[in-house]
Amino acid sequence: MITTPFVDDATVDNDEAALSVSRRDVLKMAGAAGGALGLSALLAASPVAPLVEACGMAKDTILLPAPTTQPITPKDFTPLKDRVSGISWKQLSQHVGLYEGYVKKLNASNAALQAGKATDMRTLQHKHSYALNGALLHDWYFSNLGEDQPNMGTLMRRLVMRDFGSHEQYFADMTNVGKSMRGWVVTGLSLLDNRVYNYGLDAHDGGTPLWFHPLVVLDVYEHAYMIDFGTNKGDYLTVFGNAIRWDVVETRVKQALALRKALNA
Ligand SMILES: [Fe+2]
């Protein structure tokens, strides 16, 4: 049984004010989205700047950031040690090692693409998308794991209640998707219809939907839970549901709402 108490509505004076996001917020949150992975410049360069322009900002106010030329540095997740109830550091540390491997592979494929000398472009493209998504998905997974904020934030609560009816139904759907897939469950806000879905991915680059913003990322590969749970995937899903950092998720909700507003979707 996953128990995730909601925060009291009274803790937020004005929900509508919380939903209102300015263009400056778009840029600010875009910068924060890449985090220590070093992808903030890439994010600001590709999807966000055109959106800001589309919503009316003058072209000459937008400074194009310089392309990132340095290798991307893996985020340090050692602070997760002893901060996730039910998942051991032995389990997590080996998993973090896999994430660091994906960042290395991403740097290698980026270098190969920039060199422009691929002899097998198809293989290189597959390796690149697999490594890129592997690095990002693991970053988002570890980043939304911990005990810092056990209460679902107001905005996420409103989305869950609107699109799932209750947090129990939301977690039941997440569990069903998680048991059915081999790779990932990603709770995301669709920028097509503004609804929240639990998307299932069989691999980093398999069944990966586009045009949504990730809110909660759950790794359901066997390597994510075998050390602590053996083949008991259900118990792992329950532990994860009780170990989500809802403060991180709430920030992602604000990012998603900013993108939706900029898109005028
Ligand atoms: Fe993983």
Q: Which residues have a beta carbon within 5 Å of ligand 1, which is an ion?
A: 219, 221, 224
Neighbour count for residue 133 (Cβ, 10 Å):
20
- Cα of 258 vs centre of ligand 1, distance in Å, is 29
* C-alpha 182 – ligand 1 centre gap (Å): 11
What pLDDT is stored for residue 176 in this prediction? 98
Q: Could you tell me the sign of the dihedral formed by the alpha carbons of 178, 188, 126, 67, in that order? A: negative
Looking at residue 51, its pLDDT comes to: 56
| pLDDT, position 146 | 92
Ligand 1 center to residue 69 CA distance, Å?
27
In this predicted structure, what is the pLDDT of residue 59? 58
> 90 C-alpha to center of ligand 1: Å?
14
| Pair of tokens at residue 43 | 């994010």
**242: amino acid identity, one letter:** N
pLDDT for residue 9? 40
For residues 66, 71, 72, 74, the Cα torsion angle rounded to the nearest 10 degrees is -160
Question: Which residues are within 8 A (CB) of 101 and not within 5 positions of it... i.e. 6 or more apart?
Answer: none
pLDDT at 4: 55
Tell me how far the alpha carbon of residue 232 lies from the centroid of ligand 1, in angstroms: 16
Which residues of the chain fall below pLDDT 70?
1-60, 148, 265
The two structure tokens encoding residue 216: 């909660």
How many angstroms separate the CA atoms of 65 and 52, rounded?
14
Q: Which two tokens stand for residue 28?
A: 């600010």
* pLDDT at res. 58: 56
